[in-house]
Amino acid sequence: MLDLTGKNALVTGIANNKSIAWGIAQQLHKAGANIGVTYLPDEKGRFEKKVGDLVEPLNPSVFLPCNVQDDAQIDSTFDQIKDQWGHIDILIHCLAFAQKEDLSGEFSNTSRNGFQTALDVSAYSLTRLVQSAKPLFREGSSILTLSYLGGVKVIPNYNVMGVAKSALEMSVRYLASELGPMNVRVNAISAGPIRTLASSAVGGILDMIHHVEKVAPLRRTVTQTEVGNTAAFLCSDLASGITGQIIYVDAGYEIMGMTE
C-alpha cells in the first residue's frame, strides 16, 4: 500500500552511509520515489564525491550543493529544482550542527556564536528551506524533519542542540499551521540515539545508546532503516491525516518515567 511512485523527494543531510538521511533516501527510493539529493559542499569537493558515489544506486535526478547557511545556495537549489522537477512532493530536512565545545560540559558556557550557529543550522534552516520551496509544493506534499528527545527533556551534554531541537519542533507546528490549508503536511520524527557523524560530536553518545538499550521497552535503540520506514509512511498518502506532529521512533524510550 505504501506507494511513492512518481513523487519527487528531495533529501538533505546525507554525509555518509551512517546518515539517517541515507536510511530515509533508501526507503523513499524503495517505495518508488524519484530522488533528489543535496549535500554540504566543502572546498576540496570531498563531500560531493563521497555522497555522489554513495547515492548513485538511487539514480538521483537532482544532485546539488546546498549549505543551509547560504541563502544564495538555497535559492539556486530550488530554482534548479523548479526547472528540473516543476514541483516537490517530499522535502526531507535531516541536518544539524553545533560546535563540539557546546556539546559537553556546562550549558551556561554556551557562547553567543555557538548558540547562533546551532540554532541557525539546526532549526532556522527548516523554515528557510520551506520559504524557498513553498511555491513548488502542491496538494498532498509533505515535509519532514528530524528531532531528538533532548528538545523536550534535559539530556546530558546535548545542551545547545536541545534548545535548537525545541525551536525546530515548534517550527514544525507553525509551518504545519501555515501550510495545512494548502494540504501540505509538516511533521518530525524524534529518533532514538544512533551512531552517526553528527551524534559522535555529542559527549558520551555511546553511554546514551547503552542506556537506551537497557531501559527502552524494546531493549535496543533504532536503526536508520526504521527511521526511513517511518519517514516513507509519514510522507505517503497513508499519513494524509497527520500534520504538526512529533513522532517518536525510539524503541519506546520516551514513555519511560523511571530509567535508572
Ligand X SMILES: NC(=O)c1ccc[n+]([C@@H]2O[C@H](COP(=O)([O-])OP(=O)(O)OC[C@H]3O[C@@H](n4cnc5c(N)ncnc54)[C@H](O)[C@@H]3O)[C@@H](O)[C@H]2O)c1
- Interface residue with ligand X among 10, 74, 95, 179 (CB under 6 A) is 95
- Please, which residues bridge with residue 33 across strands? none
Are residues 228 and 58 in contact, defined by beta-carbon separation less than 8 angstroms? Answer: no
Binding segment for ligand X (CB under 6 A), chosen from 56-64, 75-83, 108-116, 140-148, is 140-148
Are residues 63 and 14 in contact, defined by beta-carbon separation less than 8 angstroms? Answer: no
The Cα–Cα gap between 6 and 2 comes to 13
C-alpha grid cell for residue 28? 523513499
Q: Is 195 annotated as a binding residue?
A: yes
Cβ proximity to ligand X: between 19 and 141 the closer is 19
Minimum CB distance to ligand X, residue 118 (Å): 10
Give strand ranges (E) for 60-217. 62-65, 88-93, 137-147, 185-191
Minimum CB distance to ligand X, residue 88 (Å): 17
**CA-wise closest residue to 185 among 223, 233, 132:** 233
Cβ proximity to ligand X: between 25 and 184 the closer is 25
Binding segment for ligand X (CB under 6 A), chosen from 7-15, 56-64, 78-86, 212-220, is 7-15
Cβ proximity to ligand X: between 71 and 237 the closer is 71
By CB under 6 A, what part of segment 168-197 binds ligand X?
A: 191, 193-194, 196-197
Q: Is 13 annotated as a binding residue?
A: yes
CB atoms within 10 A of CB 229: 19
199 binds ligand X (CB under 6 A): yes
121 binds ligand X (CB under 6 A): yes
Cβ proximity to ligand X: between 137 and 253 the closer is 253
88 binds ligand X (CB under 6 A): no
148 binds ligand X (CB under 6 A): yes
Task: Give the containing element (helix H, strand E) for 30.
Answer: helix 20-30
Rounded alpha-carbon distances, angstroms, from residue 234 to 9, 29, 155: 13, 14, 27
Q: Is 253 a catalytic residue?
A: no
Q: Secondary structure of 116-160 in the HEC alphabet? A: HHHHHHHHHHHHHHHHHHHHHEEEEEEEEEEECHHHCCCCCCCHH
Q: Which residues are annotated as a binding site?
A: 13, 19-20, 95, 98, 165, 194-198
What is the set of active-site residues? 148, 158
Residues that bind ligand X (CB under 6 A): 13-15, 18-21, 40, 67-69, 94-97, 121, 146-148, 191, 193-194, 196-199
